[in-house]
Amino acid sequence: MWKTVVKTTLLAAIFMAGFAEAQLFRTKDRMDNIEGFDDRKFSYGFFLAANNFDYKLVLDPKFGMDGQKSLVQTKATYSFGAGLIGKFRLNDNFDIRFEPGLQFVEREVIFDTQSNSQYSGGTTAYPPFPKRTLSEEDKLRNVKSTYVDLPLLIEIHGDRWYNSRPYAAAGVNWMMNLQSNSDAADDNSQGLFRTTASNFAWSAEIGIQFYFSRFKLTPGFRGTFMMNDEMVGDNPDTPPYWSAAISSAKTRAFMFVLKFE
């Protein structure tokens, strides 16, 4: 999948470079493209995104840490997304954007928690449990997610300079995970890492808008950060090798987006 993301990004860069000289540096006798485009009250488009999703983990000091060593690690992966754009013009410098999309994500969570067997006699916060020798399959969880991402953004942009203008945007997201498995009876003891279905996040974005003769192209960089804990705890009778080692797990994502309007 990462090869596809890299190819898409390279093609986008080549495409932008091919027009950069005409758009930004040939200023003599050049007319502004699609004049009046941003004066419309409503406009529409679509976007493509190359993403890097990871979890920000806060570990339990007893089951998730061994001194200064973290017993749980995550591995980020590259993925992709796509969606639609709806823009509502407020004034010359502010717009409201609604950009619903799908984000296809795959991450790894690695549990090096065999040392938690030392607590099998029980603690003040955890009952006794049978020791378990963790196999390689027990230590690795491949977490797949499909997010229905519904961000509502306020965009501020500068004045148009020939056929380009900079912008910044920020807002909130509601993100539904279609592969959360939150209601499943199985948990990590059967190899299933469960997460919440309904989530809330905030996003920030910067980029430059380029105006061509027939459309507007916007490359930008967006960061999305989950506000709620996404992890669903293991069942009460499951040993503390997995979710007990994590106090919270929140998604953080960085995206390169290409918007066409």
Per-residue tens of pLDDT for the chain, all 261 residues: 445 544 554 455 445 545 444 444 454 455 677 677 788 899 999 999 999 999 999 999 999 998 889 999 999 888 999 999 999 999 989 999 999 999 999 999 999 999 999 998 888 878 898 999 999 999 999 999 999 999 999 999 988 788 889 999 999 999 999 999 999 999 999 999 999 999 999 999 999 999 888 888 999 999 999 999 999 999 999 999 999 999 999 999 999 999 999
DSSP structure class, residue 25: I
- How far is residue 57's CA from residue 214's CA, in Å, rounded to a whole number? 45
> Is the CA virtual torsion 192, 198, 203, 207 positive or negative?
positive
The single residue listed with the structure tokens 């993301």 is 5
The pLDDT assigned to 17 comes to 44
Angle (CA) 179 140 234, round 5° = 60
What pLDDT does 146 receive?
Answer: 95
Domain ranges of the chain: 2-260
What is the reported pLDDT for 213?
83
Q: And the tokens for 160?
A: 């148009």
Domain 2-260 listed as CATH 2.40.160.20: yes
